[in-house]
Amino acid sequence: MRFVDTNVLLYAVSTAPDEAEKATIARALLEATDLALSVQVLQEFYVQATRPTRPDPLAPAQAARLVEAFLRFPAQETTAELLRRAIDASQRHRISYWDAAILEAARALGCDLLLSEDFADGRDYDGLRVENPFRNLT
């Protein structure tokens, strides 16, 4: 299983000309069946996709429909245990709580790969490897 970070979802809906290559890659990724995400990722997607200062904001209803569509993938909820593990991971890896919560959600779902451009490409977090799907773009 591969865990998808928020930036992949946001690129998939982007209409910005300077993000066209990333949008193509993100849309292709979302056609896979071995993906997972978290409620946190979906929350971040909704907030960022509808942000009025975004160059191409989505209407709230459109973003909500996309969230529903993304729920076709397994979605890890935030639980008290996930919170505890994320706090520990945040301190252990010296990363933000929010990044640690993504790592721990991926781990809870049994993922071994995190697709994100927000983490160091190739880094291993206790058996969870990061891959930046956009790394070959200039």
- 40 neighbors 102 (Cβ within 8 angstroms): yes
Q: Residue 138 has what pLDDT?
A: 54
Position 55 scores a pLDDT of 87
How does pLDDT run along the chain (138 residues), one tens digit per residue? Answer: 999 999 999 999 999 999 999 999 999 999 999 999 999 999 999 999 999 999 889 999 999 999 999 999 999 999 999 999 999 999 999 999 999 999 999 999 999 999 999 999 999 999 999 999 999 885
Q: What is the pLDDT of residue 72?
A: 97
Rounded distance between C-alpha atoms, residue 30 and residue 11, angstroms: 11
Task: Name the 3-class secondary structure at 31.
Answer: coil
List the domains of the chain with CATH numbers. Answer: 2-131 (3.40.50.1010)
| Sign of torsion over alpha carbons 73, 68, 42, 82 | negative
Q: pTM of this prediction?
A: 0.94
